[in-house]
A and B are shown apart, each in its own frame.
Chain A
Amino acid sequence: MPVLLDVKNLRTYFHTHRGLVKAVDGVSFHISEKEIVGLVGESGCGKSVSMLSVMQLIAIPPGQIVSGSAMFDGHDLLKYKPKGDEMRAIRGSKIAMIFQEPMTSLNPVLTIARQVTETLELHLKMDTQTARKRAVELLKLVGIPEAEGRLDSYPHQFSGGMRQRVMIAIALSCNPKILIADEPTTAVDVTTQAQLLELMQEMVNRFNTSLVIVTHNLGVVARYAQRIYVMYAGRIVESGLSEDIFLRPLHPYTIGLLKCVPQLGETKSDRELVPISGLPPNLIKMPQTCAFLPRCSFVTEKCRLEPWPELRSAGEQHYVSCYVDTREIT
């Protein structure tokens, strides 16, 4: 499959009064056509910031995209002005985004109709009547019952799951090439989460869209993603096919993440959970060495002396940034 979006060596820093925060520090990833990719990491690891940087939605200042390129359709998105016409033609149209909290990403004082038709009128130059008709179709498509009647309601009249469906409808309205879903199901219940994920999968298959699911929950992406990137402290520490990441993980952090969550049906007598000791690092004044070192159980002398390892190939499409060959130890 041809590569749609190719991000190389992205660095996004934030200048705060406490010091320089290297939120994203040399991240490279790509998304191919019709592919579902998972981007996994804990809060503060830079997963959202990487996505927002590509969309040029970072507040500058305090943020700054220090280096990197994001090739999309033969152009480098990061060369565009954030508020320029070229970027606006892509944002929401070619690359669309769904955010975590549907209550804050929908405007509470505008009707649903207004918010769905806005992108249609702006990007597809539809007139009001056509846009309204299309909006009804879209809302029906994402499973909102009595879509016509609910077009003129406000976001607060919808439940959390329904609001997220509206967000999905808006995101898909211009038939984007890439859909970025940033923690799309964190604020909803498990049964709603299942509904939304199934819906998103159905939609991207139907529209031939690529999907990036950004999440802190490894379990969420297991069913859907073909490839997975694992982030820690502003870098990608492991990437590979879903099967490799879940069944043959190599980075100590990925191994730890999989061991510290209880599996369904497991009780305390079956297995004790193995927590990852310590705390996620402070992104200000990061050491030169591997950021996972203080929490790692595989540490060697080399880890303490050498700088943070680059990603190395560890199999077909499988990359890991670690000096230790964990396969030999485990």
Chain B
Amino acid sequence: MNVKQDHNLLEIKNLKMYFPINKGLLRRKVGDIKAIDDISFDIRENETLGLVGESGCGKTTTGRCILRLYQPTSGNIIFNGMDISSIPEKQVRPLRSHMGAIFQDPFGSLNPRQTARTIAGMPLIVHHMLNKRELDDKVTELLNLVGLDSSMMDRVPHEFSGGQRQRLGIARALACRPSLLVCDEPISALDVSIQAQIINLLEELQKNLGLTYLFIAHDLSVVQHISDRVAVMYLGRIVEISKSKELYQNPMHPYTKALLSAVPIPNPVIERTRVRVVLKGEVPSPAHPPEGCHFHPRCEIATQDCRKERPLLRDVGSGHEVACFRV
């Protein structure tokens, strides 16, 4: 299971997700929030693809579209060879046993009144209809898998610490033995000293169970650590995608460069001499994105072309793709 395969588990093609803006007494549609504006990428089996970007760039929406928690406006989501982008909800449900999700807030994503047994076992009940005795065995196995003790089975979420709660969330996501896990900011709500425990757990589970991850986060150093490849999103579009190491050593898009230089390095000697690219201004509203390249108003090297035309992702060698006219 450890060998990286070339088979694409997930293919996203020209995915768009627009949310209507309704205004006035009749709630007439006056525009669209273009949360995802035509993105394409693949995730190979047993691979981790990191998705980074600032808040509001559409990374969470992408994850939710893949899980079909949203019905995308257009485009294809091909999971395991099957296009799931527009199939009816009834057919989506059984598919969800092949996909798991871990969310940011382990306080908000677990029902405070349910015991660990119910939380971790619910997907099994929903998908496989196990009987009670089997359930206990299965939940014990799941809890052990994520480093929790089976004696904790009858506890409710508030009796767990933040890190343990996130482990419980992972156990639930793994209950049906999915092939794909969508991890949406799984560690940003945790204490620094606990984050590494969860990262290591996710890496170990991937190795042992042959999982494929879509790892969504805003912290570039964490994403680079866990991912094989990283995609950088800005205002609903992917601006650069490449192997994790390559993205750090040879960032090409001006936004990626700015993002990298904004990540603090815990070494005062390096930090004090490092030149920081501080971006001017703020991310524009996705309701009225700029024409052409979305990044041009904040870009130092933008030209006339950048204001008119949208740069598409193009390969600049060994799978490193960038959407910029100037590189």
Those of A198-226 within 8 Å (CB) of chain B: 198, 216-220, 222-223, 225
A-B CB contact pairs (8 Å), 7 listed: A219-B265, A219-B266, A247-B268, A261-B195, A264-B263, A273-B200, A280-B191
Q: A195 to chain B: which residues have CB within 8 Å?
A: 278-279
Given contacts A216-B192, A275-B193, A275-B200, contact A190 B259 (CB under 8 A): yes
Q: Is B248 an interface residue (CB 8 A)?
A: yes
Query: Does B219 contact A223, Cβ atoms closer than 8 Å?
Result: no
**Which of A159, A162, A263 touches B221 (beta carbons < 8 Å)?**
A263
Q: Which residue of B lies closest to A195 (CB)?
A: B278
Q: Whole-angstrom distance between the alpha carbons of A218 and B258 in the complex?
A: 20
Shortest Cβ gap from B73 to chain A (Å): 26
**Which of B161, B192, B220, B226 touches A42 (beta carbons < 8 Å)?**
B192
Stretch in B269-277, B286-294, B318-326 with 4+ CB within 8 Å of A: B269-277
Query: Does B220 contact A260, Cβ atoms closer than 8 Å?
Result: no
Query: Does A42 contact B193, Cβ atoms closer than 8 Å?
Result: yes
- Encoded as 1 (CB less than 8 Å from any A CB) or 0, chain B from 212 to 226 comes to 000000111110111
Q: Whole-angstrom distance between the alpha carbons of A162 and B283 in the complex?
A: 12
Q: Is B282 an interface residue (CB 8 A)?
A: yes
Query: Does A265 contact B192, Cβ atoms closer than 8 Å?
Result: no
Q: A198 to chain B: which residues have CB within 8 Å?
A: 276, 278
Main secondary structure of the interface of B (DSSP, over half): helix
Shortest Cβ gap from A277 to chain B (Å): 8
Shortest Cβ gap from A287 to chain B (Å): 18
Shortest Cβ gap from A273 to chain B (Å): 4
Most chain A Cβ neighbours within 10 Å, of B193, B199, B224: B193
Those of B63-118 within 8 Å (CB) of chain A: none
Shortest Cβ gap from A91 to chain B (Å): 30
Given contacts A267-B245, A279-B161, contact A242 B260 (CB under 8 A): no
Shortest Cβ gap from A40 to chain B (Å): 9
Q: B260 to chain A: which residues have CB within 8 Å?
A: 264
Query: Does A222 contact B264, Cβ atoms closer than 8 Å?
Result: yes
Given contacts A189-B218, A195-B279, A267-B224, contact A261 B264 (CB under 8 A): no
**Which of B55, B163, B196, B248 touches A264 (beta carbons < 8 Å)?**
B248
Q: B265 to chain A: which residues have CB within 8 Å?
A: 219, 222, 263-264
Query: Does A267 contact B225, Cβ atoms closer than 8 Å?
Result: yes
Q: Which residue of B lies closest to A282 (CB)?
A: B161
Q: Which residue of A lies closest to B285 (CB)?
A: A159
Query: Does A265 contact B249, Cβ atoms closer than 8 Å?
Result: yes
Shortest Cβ gap from A215 to chain B (Å): 10
Given contacts A262-B221, A272-B200, A275-B200, contact A246 B163 (CB under 8 A): no
Query: Does B224 contact A274, Cβ atoms closer than 8 Å?
Result: no
Query: Does B248 contact A265, Cβ atoms closer than 8 Å?
Result: yes
Q: Is A26 an interface residue (CB 8 A)?
A: no
Q: Told that A42-B192, A246-B267, A273-B196 touch, could you supply 7 new A-B pairs with CB distance under 8 A? A: A191-B279, A220-B264, A260-B195, A265-B221, A268-B225, A273-B200, A276-B194
Q: Is B262 an interface residue (CB 8 A)?
A: yes
Shortest Cβ gap from B87 to chain A (Å): 35
Query: Does B264 contact A265, Cβ atoms closer than 8 Å?
Result: no
**Which of B54, B55, B245 touches A265 (beta carbons < 8 Å)?**
B245
Q: Whole-angstrom distance between the alpha carbons of A263 and B224 in the complex?
A: 9
Q: A189 to chain B: which residues have CB within 8 Å?
A: 54-55, 218
- Encoded as 1 (CB less than 8 Å from any A CB) or 0, chain B from 173 to 215 comes to 0000000000000000001111111011001000000000000
Shortest Cβ gap from A145 to chain B (Å): 8
Q: B242 to chain A: which residues have CB within 8 Å?
A: none
Q: Is B261 an interface residue (CB 8 A)?
A: yes
Query: Does A223 contact B54, Cβ atoms closer than 8 Å?
Result: no
Q: Is B244 an interface residue (CB 8 A)?
A: yes
Q: B268 to chain A: which residues have CB within 8 Å?
A: 222-223, 225, 242-243, 246-247
Shortest Cβ gap from A98 to chain B (Å): 18
Q: Is A258 an interface residue (CB 8 A)?
A: yes
Q: Is A256 an interface residue (CB 8 A)?
A: yes
**Which of A162, A191, A242 touches B259 (beta carbons < 8 Å)?**
A191
**Which of B244, B258, B264, B279 touches A267 (beta carbons < 8 Å)?**
B244
Q: Whole-angstrom distance between the alpha carbons of A263 and B266 in the complex?
A: 8
**Which of B161, B219, B226 touches A268 (beta carbons < 8 Å)?**
B226
Shortest Cβ gap from A230 to chain B (Å): 12
Q: Which residue of B lies closest to A219 (CB)?
A: B264
Q: Which residue of B lies closest to A232 (CB)?
A: B193
Q: Which residue of B lies closest to A189 (CB)?
A: B54
Q: Whole-angstrom distance between the alpha carbons of A257 and B271 in the complex?
A: 18
Q: A219 to chain B: which residues have CB within 8 Å?
A: 263-266
Q: Which residue of B lies closest to A280 (CB)?
A: B191
Q: B220 to chain A: which residues have CB within 8 Å?
A: 190, 264
Given contacts A243-B269, A246-B268, A265-B249, contact A190 B218 (CB under 8 A): yes
Query: Does A223 contact B200, Cβ atoms closer than 8 Å?
Result: no
Q: Is A316 an interface residue (CB 8 A)?
A: no
Query: Does B225 contact A247, Cβ atoms closer than 8 Å?
Result: no
Q: Whole-angstrom distance between the alpha carbons of A266 and B121 in the complex?
A: 36
Q: Which residue of B lies closest to A194 (CB)?
A: B262
Query: Does A280 contact B278, Cβ atoms closer than 8 Å?
Result: no
Q: Whole-angstrom distance between the alpha carbons of A256 and B195 in the complex?
A: 12
Shortest Cβ gap from B70 to chain A (Å): 23
Q: Whole-angstrom distance between the alpha carbons of A214 and B244 in the complex?
A: 31
- Encoded as 1 (CB less than 8 Å from any B CB) or 0, chain A from 277 to 300 comes to 101100000000000000100000
- Sorted nearest first, the 6 A-B pairs with minimum C-beta distance are A219-B264, A262-B225, A275-B196, A265-B248, A260-B196, A223-B271
Q: B227 to chain A: which residues have CB within 8 Å?
A: 267
Query: Does B282 contact A159, Cβ atoms closer than 8 Å?
Result: yes
Q: Is A68 an interface residue (CB 8 A)?
A: no
Q: Is A193 an interface residue (CB 8 A)?
A: yes
Shortest Cβ gap from B191 to chain A (Å): 5
Q: Is A105 an interface residue (CB 8 A)?
A: no
Q: Is A161 an interface residue (CB 8 A)?
A: yes
